[in-house]
Amino acid sequence: MANIDYYFAGISPFSYLGHRAIEAVARKHGCGIAYKPVILPELFEVSGALPPAKRPPVRQRYRLLELQRVAEMRGLPINLKPKHFPVDPALADQAVIALLDARQDPTDYMFRVFSAVWAQDENVSDPRVVERVLDESGFDGAAFLEAAQSESVAETRRQNTKEAIEADAVGVPAYVLNGEVFWGQDRIELLDRALESGRAPFHP
């Protein structure tokens, strides 16, 4: 069975917009998914990417167009200028790792975190918000909030980031299949095609 490494950050709008789509592709092909939250600024340092506020105005405007187009295509609500963006998603993202360590499925929780930022104007750097979202996802929020703050969980996130850099992930979301990286939710269809054809991975 193929396995997809899924690199993401909880405040990434394109991770939000692609989340259900990559899950659907994985189900279609019977693939496993390895959920790997990363430290996005460290990827940007290597790839030369800039945070949205530091991009030239023309690129900032185009990003807003893309968000609307993709949200419409995926049937998802989108707030173009959320009240709490950017914030540090470390705690929310590390809760994903804590769930995985406990052999729990983080998929619903992840989508709720993405939605909290991009549809509900919530601050996912606030521990109270993270605990509540965990609770709403059917987990013991207080317990997983505590686990998310452990050094071992933080180290896993750092290791995920190193792996993403080694895989040439330019940013997030990035999906890696058999060593081939697909950067961006708009590459999910290409990943689907690669799985459909069973072709060998492409390399630079």
Quick: pLDDT tens for 69-111. 999 999 999 999 999 999 999 999 999 999 999 999 999 999 9
Q: How far apart are CA 161 and CA 157, in angstroms?
A: 6
The edge-to-edge listing of strands for the beta sheet with 32-37 is: 32-37, 3-8, 174-177, 180-183
Question: What sign does the dihedral 184-72-69-53 (CA atoms) show?
Answer: negative
Under 8 Å between Cβ of 11 and 124: yes
Structural domains for the chain:
3-197 (3.40.30.10)
Burial class of residue 186 in the structure, from the number of CB atoms within 10 Å of its CB (0-12 exposed, 13-18 middle, 19+ buried): middle
Query: What is the pTM assigned to this prediction?
Result: 0.97
Mind listing the pLDDT tens digit for each residue in 98-155? Answer: 999 999 999 999 999 999 999 999 999 999 999 999 999 999 999 999 999 999 999 9
Which of 19, 16, 9, 37 is closest to 118 using CA atoms?
16
CA 172/CA 9 separation, integer angstroms: 7
25-41 burial string, b = 16+ CB within 10 Å, else e? bbeebebebebbbbbbe
